[in-house]
Amino acid sequence: MSGLDETIADLVAANRILASQGVVDGFGHVSVRHPENPKRYLLSRARPPECIEAADIMEFTLEGEALDARGRRPYNERFIHGALYEARPELNAVVHSHSPSVIPFGVAGEHLRPLLHMAAPIGASVPIWEPRKSFGDTDMLVSDMAQGRDLARAVGPGTAALMRGHGSVVAGKFLREAVYIAVYLEVNAHLQMDALRFGKPVNYLSAGEIEKILARQAKGKASEGFDRAWEGWCNRAGIAYLRR
């Protein structure tokens, strides 16, 4: 398998995992930066993630132009991906989803914050992208690069942003990391709503705890965690685990 074939196989697995974990349904998508050309990225044609196969994966410029469409229709919201790769050269994978538990935190004035150690990579408080601020009333989709770049500015130097009334975007240096963050963003949101129901102050991870967890990940030990999670999720999704 070439490097590109391996990347495509992992991207197919990422789609199946995110569907199996309930992060995406018929909508939502995951991309990876092209392993040989940083000015390109790989993303499926418009298809439900749980159905995606290697032949569905298309190549795009950062501006969202398909290089090898061959009659395949791209996702309307592909600009989310290119805008983040353009703004953040160190990022190599992006997940966009409408996972349900995060939605209340984009609309009700309660910030999404990590209370579970696995959710430390979402950052101390997840920013919210408000499309109305720059674009007035829209159909809520990210339909061009101007909107994609505005969303990327909301992500800033972090790994995630909520999209008000719509969903979220998550980015990572590696595909397995981005999938991990997307899964635990949803898990944390669900747990935070449960914790808030007690009506008492919630004891979130401190800035120091987040920093120590991320420092451990930066030393490389975290990839073991990402890989372990990935192997289990592959099994759950009924697909082969490819050791990297």
Of the pair 43, 120, the CB lying nearest Zn ion is at 43
Which residues from 61-80 bind Zn ion, rule CB under 5 A?
A: 77
Query: Is 209 one of the annotated active-site residues of the chain?
Result: no
Of the pair 85, 230, the CB lying nearest Zn ion is at 85
Of the pair 10, 77, the CB lying nearest Zn ion is at 77
User: In whole angstroms, how close is the CB of 97 to Zn ion at the nearest point?
Assistant: 8
Of the pair 77, 177, the CB lying nearest Zn ion is at 77
Of the residues 53, 63, 65, 77, which is catalytic? 77
Burial 3-30 (b: 16+ CB within 10 A, else e): eeeebbbbbbbbbbbbbbbebbeeebbb
Give the x/- contact pattern for Zn ion in 77-106, rule: CB under 5 A: x-----------------------------
User: In whole angstroms, how close is the CB of 194 to Zn ion at the nearest point?
Assistant: 25
User: In whole angstroms, how close is the CB of 98 to Zn ion at the nearest point?
Assistant: 6
| Structure tokens, 4 | 């590109």
User: In whole angstroms, how close is the CB of 28 to Zn ion at the nearest point?
Assistant: 7
Cα dihedral sign, 103-239-56-59 = positive
Give the x/- contact pattern for Zn ion in 25-64, rule: CB under 5 A: ----------------------------------------
Of the pair 151, 187, the CB lying nearest Zn ion is at 151
Interatomic CA distance for residues 140 and 170, integer angstroms: 18
CA angle, 233 as apex, 228 and 237 as ends, to 5°? 155
Residue pair 49/33 in contact (Cβ under 8 Å)? The answer is no
| Structure tokens, 137 | 């009333």
User: In whole angstroms, how close is the CB of 114 to Zn ion at the nearest point?
Assistant: 23
Interatomic CA distance for residues 215 and 197, integer angstroms: 32
Interatomic CA distance for residues 32 and 7, integer angstroms: 8
| Structure tokens, 214 | 């991320």
Q: Which positions touch Zn ion (CB under 5 A)?
A: 77
- Enumerate the active-site residues: 77
